[in-house]
Structure 1
Amino acid sequence: MARAFAKIAFTDNVKQLQSEMGSRQTYQVFEQGDTDDVCIDKRTEQFIKQRDSVYIATSNDDGWPYIQHRGGPKGFLKVLSDKQIGFADFRGNRQYLTVGNIQGNNKVCLFLMDYAQTRRLKIWGHAEVIQKAEYAGLMAQLELADFRAPVERGVVITIDAVDWNCPKYITPRYTQDEFAQFLVDD
């Protein structure tokens, strides 16, 4: 999986800067993996299923990046297979920046954060916006039974690369449920 990540992330400009800053030799190892095949393993699957939010990056037709927060109850981000994840896209502020960007350039990057445990997972992939009329079965997999927000569409991401990122500088933060657990444990 590291080789797939390196092929996407380590552009010529990045490699040049790594060389100048003395880290190129360390990161060159990522490029020497034995496969480009990316599969969601059990550890990654569990991490994804426990998230209640995700940051999704897209870029518009002019190349400007945009980062959107998506959230819901734990498990709103679904593991559909060992190469696909998805989520029901709930009605928001109706700007449609992320969805519009995906229609022009379907490359996305996701940041999944676990602030309490200072863990971060980055996912690169290609997104597809799906409509219930065309993909009723798939939409049924993405929807949440007890969540009342109106679903406008689904977003399915085929994963090209993942990277577990360094926990350095992640400030621990806790949800109300996580904080309540501290009080129960004491």
Structure 2
Amino acid sequence: FFFIDYPNKARLKALATITLRKAEDEPQVIERFAALGYRAAIERVFIADVAALDWNCPQHITPRFTAAELTPVMGKLVDDLEALKAENAALKARLAGA
């Protein structure tokens, strides 16, 4: 399995053996999730016995961002676009009146 951090172009690959267990067979694992405030009923748990980890080359990972991460950057662009639209409309009105 792997984890990808798109904004930072990082990928962590893990080689592991996964075991599927019933929740009642792993009460100590279930207690950890309950302590985190996880309220759903946990029916089963995947336990990963990790044998190896490797950080991959970021060359071909396309950065992806959430809307919340883009809002500060995009705000100025949106403001500039609105100003240009208003200016364009004003210029069209002047041309139509000339």
Please report the TM-score for the alignment, with normalisation by the length of structure 1: 0.34
Structure 2: give runs of 5+ residues left out of the alignment. 76-98
Alignment match, 1:115:
6
2:55 corresponds to 1:164: yes
Which of the two has greater helix per residue? 2
Alignment match, 2:37:
145
What residue identity is the alignment partner of 1:167? P
RCO greater where, 1 or 2, for CA within 8 Å and sep 6 or more?
A: 2
What residue identity is the alignment partner of 1:112? F
Contact 2:23 2:42 in 1 (8 A): no
2:25 corresponds to 1:128: no
Aligned residue pair count: 74
Q: Assess, with a 3 A threshold, how the Cα gap between structure 1 residues 154 and 177 changes in structure 2: closer, same or farther.
A: farther
Contact 1:130 1:154 in 2 (8 A): yes
What displacement does 1:182 show? 4.8
Where does structure 1 differ by over 6 angstroms across 4 or more consecutive aligned residues?
none
Please report the TM-score for the alignment, with normalisation by the length of structure 2: 0.61
What displacement does 1:128 show? 1.1
What displacement does 1:138 show? 1.3
> Which of these two proteins has the greater Rg computed from alpha carbons?
2
| Secondary structure of the structure 2 residue equivalent to 1:133 | helix
Q: Percent identity?
A: 28
